[in-house]
Structure 1
Amino acid sequence: MPLFRKISHTLFFLSLISPFCHGEPQLITLEPTTGEGEAHHNKHIERQQTVIDKENSDLYYSGDLICNSVSCYPKVFEPLADWQEIKPLQQVPKGLDIRINMDTGRKETKIIEKNIPDPKMVDISHEFVDDFRDLNEAMKQNEENKIIQILDKLDEYAHDYKHGSKIIKYEQDVLSELMLSKVYGDKVKEISARVLSGCLRNNPPAIQIYNPRYVDELVNSLIFEKNPIVLKRYLGVLQTVADKASNSSNLFTNLLKVYKGDIDNQIKLRVLEILSDLELSDARGKGLVKRSVNGKDDKNEPTLQQWFNEFSTNIQNSQLDEYHLKRFFHTLVNIKKEGGSNVKVSKDFLNWLSKQTEERKEALNDDLAKRDLEQYEFNKKLIESRHLLFGNPLADRIKNFNDEF
């Protein structure tokens, strides 16, 4: 074989294997060949390109995936400790072992053994590892003051979206154990519940991974907790995860017992907030309306009228903020729509609604208020419902006629 052809073949072979060497790929630039060697080289490239184009012709990108008419796979290759085939167009991270499978002719890769992380360390890699290691040690030594000190520190980070998710993902067991503990004092239970509530509130990823078993244990603990501060914290946690309770009857029964107990008004409002959230989310049929309708023959189950009375009374609380006023009002609308004329509206509630209507009419004419579309729509709904839903629909028609006249 002529010397220039041997050199050409050697360089071409090196160009094929060079990307599979460890470290940064070394680019090899081939000088143009001439004569017979050039023709042979071009035919080889043409055949190889034809195979690649045919294989990838129906592939397309879809977000972080590469798809064809049959299936999809990740755009970025996800390495494991075992050899895996690299699929067409996949991006391969640096620092991996790469080979060509001699049986299939396909490229394969895996994590280099020395870089495989210790399995014991994989699930504890977060910013608070040291804090929770100290916390577990303090629990073993029964050092309650140190436990409180560490929990206070964690509470500062719990409301952060990312930190809250990590704490729930890796450390929900120890925090739930402390919250529901029968060994430690009320201060430990109160702060651990505060940390959990901070992590879970307005944090859907954290809520999703919170274990329903702890929700059921929390529901069972409600009726035995005598400290009103701890009970408020328990309800704060429950408000974020109540729809994860496995037994809705037990949830409602215990919330009702708490509500009827000799407790302060803040706890009653917390219970109503949870019930309102369940009603408006209608989580798996746990809403008030469905429960009252389905359990209308159960003497222990409050009627729609009783729930309407409770919400219509508490919505008049001058200390109630706008967010909870909206939630309570939407709950009242749901109950009234379901109960119809069987749900009676008190004179006190109608008087409150009349005052609200006049105040919100003024707000509708405020150009600045119109910029808040959500608030604007709520004001309109409240005004319209005064007669159409909670009052006399005929009065609304007469009023509109007079306004037009």
Structure 2
Amino acid sequence: MKIALLYLLGSILASELICNPSYPTDCYPKVFIPTREWQEIKEGQDIPGGLHVRLNIDTLKREAKLLEEEESSEVSSNDLVIVDNQPETVDKTMEESIKSAIGEYKAKHRSKINTNSNDFKDFQSSVEDIKKYNVDELDGSLDSLMDLSHDIEYGIKITDDKSLLNALFELTSEVDVDTKEKIYRMIGASIRNNPTALDNFLENGKTQISIFIKELQNDPEIIKNRILGIFNVLVDNASFKYTYLSQLLDQLINVYPTLSSSSQTRLVNIFKDLKLVDNEANDNDNEISTYLQNKFIKNDFTDETQFQLYYDKLLELHKQADLKPQKEFVAWLDEEVGLRQQGLKKHDNLYSGNQEFDDKLLETRHKVFGNPNALRKHFVDDEL
């Protein structure tokens, strides 16, 4: 039990995850967390010493669990044992102990603040001013919280106070752009390199996340930059990716062509962290274009609306930048245009028979992704 708790808390502190590059929402801790039940050891996981490890002959996958007392003297550390697949009973006491350990860790971490310090007094008065919307003290209070938000303990306190977060986000609709930017910068500083604060924010500030995504469309560039900075932290969290990633990626693709160069770099860094683009490349436009083309080659879309959005953004990107399409994408586009023009395209969730969009595919196949003269030849052939 002590081993399981030790490595569980270690993984919480490190907050390091392994994610499948093909499925960014499929994430798991880098450090294997043992219990008294057999669990699969996933690819790339580090295995603590002193565990019972086996090769499951039914699944041909490695599994591990904590050693039972009677096993500890017979099986050496990380011994590999081949056994049949046998049912195991989950140790509820173990689960409760782990949950209790997490709670104790969080409580202990929060208690590090010296409640008699001037910083804490400034923090308390600043929080009170913001909650009461004390206009005269607002700038000073936000500056005070901004300075303290870089501290782990105060980052935790800021994100753990749901009423404070609500007050801050309500302020963003009433204050000027500079003050709004300061609030978003404080949120980003609070959760960066602070796993506990990040968890707090996902629980207490979750209603704001969808608003962040929408604000990427219309807000001033400085606000978009701060929101992208927040998302750059959030995408490391498996829970966030499971809930919001698809919605976020659609919006990031939607706004990319309209962003400044610095904001585009921030956006591409998010894609790099998700391992969706080449981590070594420095050409933002090429990276996003390649990502979009590969989506079409793989037919990786949820519905026709998303399909058309991504094609429109790919067009916009290629019209404003000197980019060359991949041969595989051109081959896909040739086939797609042919099927649609000949009425052979199967109607499904990605195709409802929109003639206007079909014509756009044909026209842009030649004007944007090929030889414009070939478009005239196509219409001559049709007439003949």
TM-score tier by shorter-chain length is 0.3 to 0.5
Structure-2-length-normalised TM-score: 0.42
Q: Rg: which structure is higher?
A: 1
Structure possessing the higher relative contact order (Cα contacts under 8 Å, 6 or more residues apart): 2
Task: Provide TM-score, normalisation by structure 1.
Answer: 0.40
